[in-house]
Structure 1
Amino acid sequence: MPHLYPSLPHRPRPSLSRLRLALALGAALLGSPVTAQNAPAVKFVPYASGLKSVTTITPAGDGSGRLYVTLQAGQVRVIDRGKLRPEPFLDVSRLTSAGGERGLLGLTFDPRYKQNRRLYIHYTDRSGDTVLARYLASADFSRADPASGRVLFTAKQPYANHNGGQIEFGPDGFLYLGLGDGGSGGDPQNNGQNLSSPLGKLLRFDVSGDRAKPAAGNPFVNRSGANPNIWAYGLRNPWRFSFDRTTGDLVIADVGQNTFEEVNRQPRASKGGENYGWRLREGRACYEPAQGCPSQGLTGPVLTYGRSEGQSVTGGYVYRGNAIPALKGRYVFGDFGSGNVWAARMTGGTWSKALLGTVKGPSAFGQDEAGELYVAEYFTGRILKLGR
């Protein structure tokens, strides 16, 4: 695949003419908020640049105000008060097979990072397989010790795409990892519905010790033949999930196959075990089988959209900052293909979305310690801060 167009959360690959059109639209719209009815007026303000192929933006939760950014090729970089530090915080490029949908795909910090200096990364290794690893920061927290790496979990990947990538600690203190269905197209191995496979799943781990083990209360721990790490299943390629920092609810953006992108919601009170439907369903429509697919036992999406609006959802966050009061409580997310950035809210039991603006290849959203939001432009290497 040409480096110009990665397929990070994508399945279908648009033609170069379509790509140029998307880039042209992004260039025309960038810098001027595009609003729809009931949409808050939002500006995308340049915050940092010089970052190639961003896959994650996250704070450490240590009160420093720094943002940590993963680059697909294998580096973790630090933005300190809007300034990019010249040296990487961590470089695992020699361990990583990067390109397409592979590479360094996730980063999160332990809730007790200030005490235990633990951070976690998710990357594709040289064999093309998934690795969850733990590292330790130096005593002064200026960098991560590359010699401290410890592999906690691995998963074989049958194809080069649909690696998922997000890792995040939930309000329960456990570590969640989202994995795609293993790739190709149409989930040929039916991993999404196969409880013996970790692929096409949201996994939940207890990493409080020196290894990753199934978190207490995981729904399939006692089911014969099931992977004990599974928290939820029926996912195609969850390109970013997040927890609402106020309610604790989990929101999962799942990339579609041919027709629909979708967003799923799991209440904090959930005991896990949700089946989000892939490959039985794509969005709310039947996929395999094409007609007469079951609905009983499936958890449907709270929001879907079709190809007229985009082609590869990028999950974001429920806004809980203070800079944009009209955005509070709305879920901000985007589409990698079209560049659209929306805000969604619950209205009458369903979610509706309003267009906030358009950027160039939104590959990752992030929130800082104050709850303010950022979005990465994959194609320009810039990070933009949402403001008004």
Structure 2
Amino acid sequence: MTVRKVSLRVVALLALVWSGAGAAQDATRSSAPRCTDPGFDAAIPDIVLQRVGRGFEDPVFVTGDRRGGLLVVEQSGLVRRLDPEQGVPGDVFLDIRDRVIAGGERGLLGLALHPRFLRDGRLYVNYTHRGDGLTTRVSEFVMTAAGSANLDSERVLLSFSQPYGNHNGGMVLFGPDGDLYVGTGDGGAGNDPRNNGQRLDTLLGKILRIRVSDPSADEPYEVPPGNPFIERSKARPEIYAYGLRNPWRFSIDWVTGRLYAGDVGQNAREEIDVVRKGGNYGWRIMEGTICTPGVEPDCERSGLEPPILDYDHTQGYSVTGGYVYRGTSIPALCGVYLYADFGSGRLWGLRYDGERVTRQRLLENTGLRIASFGEDDAGELYVVDYRGRIYRIAPKAQSSGS
């Protein structure tokens, strides 16, 4: 496979195609209408799941396409459009199945559109590369005038080996600061045998923050000057936070700026973290709020950031981090963080005031394999069922199609 840069001329032509006549900038979450937060002590309302898509194969993520539709990521390496009014897979947006090794916790795992996507057509993916050994790639592609990704435009930002086939992370997300956040697992196996979560000389077991460069730059990314370990000897400067086992899904609340992550546990606890710059979230010293069984029976907790919430394996066994609701369809849900468990199908909501969880409740026992949540351009939230369906979070009165 050949990977090469896209010429400035091509980028300029794509800018004309994707921006539309007279368009000055992308519609972003910062400019979308927002709900009015009822407060940290407000009750969490009932919801229903309204099916808006079916017929996908092993979907793992959904996001808005900046034009009012949705993009659905399939683990095999395919991204398809979805019009919620039509309800079935639409045109192909990206097809890198020949570059992806899929199965288990590997595959095409994440997708993020550049903040200026409508102008320059740049998008970013996180996938397990089909090659010698197991390698995670975070790559940039550029759209064609026909509305699909130019496969020859791939520019690899990050490439690093995975010692085992599980805990591959997968999330990529642009924050309100314009930087790209990347979630990486600890490298897999059990008990983090290489202690990658606590090591600062590896990208594994971390949330990374990088600044994507202009296509004309010599290097594909820069390290933001505010990253916490730039000056530390032998530490990887891309690291934003560490001590994570597998932060499969995370999101940033566009109102408060808080980064919420669901970190998948091992044999005892699942956890929700509010991730802060430079924070150590404990793995493999701790699993949730307890010392890791069989690894650190009498652990030292000083200097570790505790989760804002954790739960044991009677409630589920693989947490799926979600989003803080900022849409307008369910006013009483405003400010509620939604999360779920892939194993049990339970879906919860919580309110967090910056210091503690003030409200928390089980909203649905869905029976679904909730692989991910997603957010559209208006801040409405979706649930991805790994069995092939996409659901919109809706107020309980709208039960049609649920």
TM-score if structure 1 supplies the norm length?
0.86
Deviation at 1:368, TM superposition (A): 0.8
The answer to whether 1:333 aligns with 2:342 is: no
Choose which of 103, 113, 129 in structure 2 pairs with 1:125: 129
State the Cα deviation string for residues 170-191 of structure 1 (Å, max 9, x = none): 1111000000000001100000
The answer to whether 1:386 aligns with 2:393 is: yes
What aligned pairs does 1:54-133 form with structure 2 within 5 A after superposition? 54-60=59-65, 62=66, 64-83=67-86, 84-126=88-130, 127-133=133-139
The answer to whether 1:323 aligns with 2:329 is: yes
Aligned partners of 1:163 and 1:278: how far apart in 2?
15
**2:372 is aligned with what amino acid?**
A
Deviation at 1:87, TM superposition (A): 3.0
Deviation at 1:91, TM superposition (A): 0.4
The answer to whether 1:220 aligns with 2:229 is: yes
Which of the pair has more CA radius of gyration? 2
Secondary structure at the counterpart of residue 129 of structure 1: strand
Aligned partners of 2:297 and 2:182: how far apart in 1?
32
State the Cα deviation string for residues 108-152 of structure 1 (Å, max 9, x = none): 000011111100001001132100010001235x21111211111
Structure 1 residue ranges (4+ consecutive) displaced by more than 4 angstroms after TM superposition: none
Question: What is the aligned partner in structure 2 of residue 47 from structure 1?
Answer: 52
Secondary structure at the counterpart of residue 343 of structure 1: strand
State the Cα deviation string for residues 295-343 of structure 1 (Å, max 9, x = none): 2111110010111111100010000111112211010010000000111
Aligned partners of 2:76 and 2:259: how far apart in 1?
28
Percent identity of paired positions between Structure 1 and Structure 2: 47
What aligned pairs does 1:213-292 form with structure 2 within 5 A after superposition? 213-266=222-275, 270=276, 272-287=277-292, 289-292=295-298
Q: Is the 8 A contact 2:49 2:393 kept in 1?
A: yes
Secondary structure at the counterpart of residue 182 of structure 1: coil
Q: Is the 8 A contact 2:260 2:273 kept in 1?
A: yes
**2:96 is aligned with what amino acid?**
V
* More moved, 347-356 vs 272-281: 347-356
TM-score if structure 2 supplies the norm length?
0.83
Question: What is the aligned partner in structure 2 of residue 10 from structure 1?
Answer: none
Aligned partners of 2:134 and 2:92: how far apart in 1?
24
Aligned residues: 344
Aligned partners of 1:77 and 1:171: how far apart in 2?
26
Aligned partners of 2:279 and 2:353: how far apart in 1?
23
* More moved, 340-349 vs 193-202: 340-349
* More moved, 284-293 vs 68-77: 284-293
Question: What is the aligned partner in structure 2 of residue 196 from structure 1?
Answer: 201
Secondary structure at the counterpart of residue 246 of structure 1: coil
Q: Is the 8 A contact 1:206 1:216 kept in 2?
A: no
Question: What is the aligned partner in structure 2 of residue 207 from structure 1?
Answer: 212
Choose which of 303, 309, 313 in structure 2 pairs with 1:303: 309
**2:171 is aligned with what amino acid?**
Q
Unaligned runs of 5+ in 1: 1-36
Aligned partners of 2:107 and 2:53: how far apart in 1?
22
Change (3 A) 1:131 1:347: closer
